[in-house]
Amino acid sequence: MRAFSYARPETPAAAIEAFVAAGSGARYIAGGTTLYDLMKLRVEQPTHLIDVTAIRGLDEIATDGDMLRFGALAPMSAVAADRTLQRDYPVLVEALSKAASQQLRNMATVGGNLLQRTRCLYFRNGAGSASTANVYPCNKREPGAGCAAQDGIDRGQAVLGQSAACNAVSPGDWPVALVAMDAQLELLGPEGARTIPVAELYRPPGDTPHLEFTLQPAEIVTGIAVPATRAGRHSTYHKIRDRESYAFALASAAVALELDGDIVRRAHVALGGVATQPWRAAAAEQALLGQRVTPDIANAAGRAALQGARAGHHNGFKIELGARTVADAILIAAARNPA
Amino acid sequence: MTDPDAGGPASLIELDRREVLVAGAGAAVALTLETGTAQAQASAGAEAAPPGTAMTIRPRINGRAMSVEIDTRTSLLDLLRERLQLTGAKKGCDHGQCGACTVHLDGQRVASCLTLAAKMDGRAVTTIEGLAEGDGLHPMQQAFIDHDALQCGYCTPGQIMAAVACVREGHATDRASIREYMSGNICRCGAYVGIVAAIEAVAQGRQA
């Protein structure tokens, strides 16, 4: 691991100032569950770490009012334990509690989790030791090097959103639920504060898969805001894994339904585990509008969600699995909290 | 804690006169650990640390206040095992995937392998060595024995620290919940039936 300096400023302004002063090798660190992991693999090689966890007032959780608000430094476990969310927004709670282990959820923050990097095996390996260096090229790790996953073991790779340069899956659960629920991201940088939809944090891989986020240099995530909606009562985060617990998604679906009796008035659908970024499925939402939720309607919406999916060598199963995951999630969400 | 006068691996530990005087005025024993850049490199590669990459932290570990100079790259796990001779927490994967390194940080379970030691200034860490009070076993340790909840034992310190937290969090309500909230601790021997039974017994206030 490359040597680095470490600072723990106590205000956002001091953190940004330290980041700017440190130059190109600077990285912010919060829980560290992704960054420190990747530093051990030599995928990340920062020379200055600016720890943001001493900044006060960024860990508040507010679930009353028109916007649910989560300070960026709130631990994933603390948000998952919120009683109001457990009752009224199962999609958010399940996305958090089905991610990682309780140990990691105690460490990881809801802001930092949005910036988790891919678990693509070719991205993670190949940088750590001399014997594997340059054996598995990765455009995300080393721009222009090539992509070993395209003709490699691609069982875990994306079927939606991929480019010739990269088919790495966006690993998160929480970002998928937030994108489904129209969440906003609050940012602070040298130029001041701004708010963007969480969906706009993520860049498609295109020709530049090493550029994953739309954050500006030195910007920090300060908070997440989710519009309050009664659709939360009829919601779920449905996650299909190779094992029952503590694994990344093969396919997942965040679904929330605004129901009028049993008729869908508004639908929120997003997918995880199958795409290069948290994937909002507008076609699936459209397929549900004005409909009574039945298995046939749910299946049709599931197929619509995977429109345009393209399989590689070993990941074709994700297209069918993704469609069925969405369909099941719709049925689970509709059955929640019957009137 | 290891006796600093005993020699052997403990010779890494030297009492600093000033720290001892400070400690003598209060209750806790303060230890200052001799660094030397070479020892700070436990798992951090061979290159020498440039300026600004070493720092002093003052954590409280198993109830003892201490002052330790570290290389910023050091994980909490390596600090415990390689510097403080607290080898109960185990290095399984070193990437937060197996749970063998689980310790409590300010009362909450964390993966010590993915925790920067640099973050530990002013924090309270409890390891398996500090779990029991006095010479007896913690009820969870006894329950693991009673329920045959281990085979090789390598994952056991992490399992027990996670299990104690699982009960404290209120997640040990039934077997399904115990399994879900213990899923971050892998047991290669497959002693899961005994582990779940031990946790269930402690959660229900009985030991066997």
Instruction: Give pLDDT tens digits for B144-194.
Output: 999 999 999 999 999 999 999 999 999 999 999 999 999 999 999 999 999
Contact B116 A37 (CB under 8 A): no
Please compute, for residue A208, the number of CA atoms within 13 A of its CA located in the half-sphere on the CB side: 6
Give me the CATH code for the B8-130 domain, please. Answer: 3.10.20.30
In chain A, CATH 3.30.390.50 sits at 231-332
CB B207 within 8 A of CB B201: yes
Q: Which are the contacts of B153, defined by CB distance < 8 A and separation ≥ 6?
A: none
Query: Per-residue confidence at B48, pLDDT binned at 50, 70, 90?
Result: low
Q: What angle do CA A266, A116, A16 make, to 5 degrees?
A: 105
Task: Report the C-alpha gap between A189 and A201 in whole angstroms.
Answer: 15
- Over residues A278-304, mean pLDDT: 98
Closest residue to B72, CB basis, from A4, A103, A245: A4
- Pick from B73, B111, B116: CB nearest A3: B73
List every span in chain A annotated with CATH 3.30.43.10. 5-54
Measure Cα distances from B133 to B137, B139, B195 in Å: 7, 10, 22
Q: Which residue of B has its CA nearest to A47?
A: B53
A5-54 has which CATH code?
3.30.43.10
pLDDT tens-digit profile of A65-94?
A: 999 999 999 999 999 999 999 999 999 999
Residue B18: pLDDT above 70? no
Q: Which helix (H) or strand (E) holds A320?
A: helix A317-335
Query: B93, B29 in Cβ contact below 8 A?
Result: no
Local confidence band at A307 (pLDDT 50, 70, 90 cut-offs): very high
Mean pLDDT over the full length of chain A: 96
CA distance B53 to A211: 28
CB B99 within 8 A of CB B184: yes
Topology, domain B139-203: DNA polymerase; domain 1 (1.10.150)
Contact across the interface for B110 and A106, Cβ inside 8 Å: yes
Q: Which of B72, B77, B171 to mutate to test the interface with A (most CBs of A within 10 A)?
A: B72
Q: Is pLDDT of B12 > 80?
A: no
Q: Looking at the predicted structure, is the pLDDT value of residue B207 above 50?
A: no
Structure tokens at A308: 């345009």
> Quick one: angle between helices B192-203 and B139-146, nearest 10?
140
Q: What is the ipTM of this complex?
A: 0.96
**B52, B94, B116 ranked by CB distance to A5: nearest:** B52
Backbone φ and ψ of A34, nearest 5°: -95, -50
CATH of domain A231-332: 3.30.390.50
Residues B96-140 have pLDDT tens digits of 999 999 999 999 999 999 999 999 999 999 999 999 988 899 999
- For residue B66, the SS3 value is strand
| Separation of alpha carbons A158 and A179, rounded Å | 18
Indicate yes or no: CB of A102 within 8 angstroms of CB of B179.
no
Residue B16 has pLDDT above 80, yes or no: no
Query: Counting every residue, how long is chain B?
Result: 208
Output phi, psi for A56, to 5 deg.
-85, 150
Report whether pLDDT(B20) > 80: no
How do the domains of chain B map onto residue ranges?
8-130, 139-203
Contact residues on chain A for B114, CB-CB shorter than 8 A? 32-33, 36-37, 104, 107
Nearest chain B residue (CA) to A100: B184
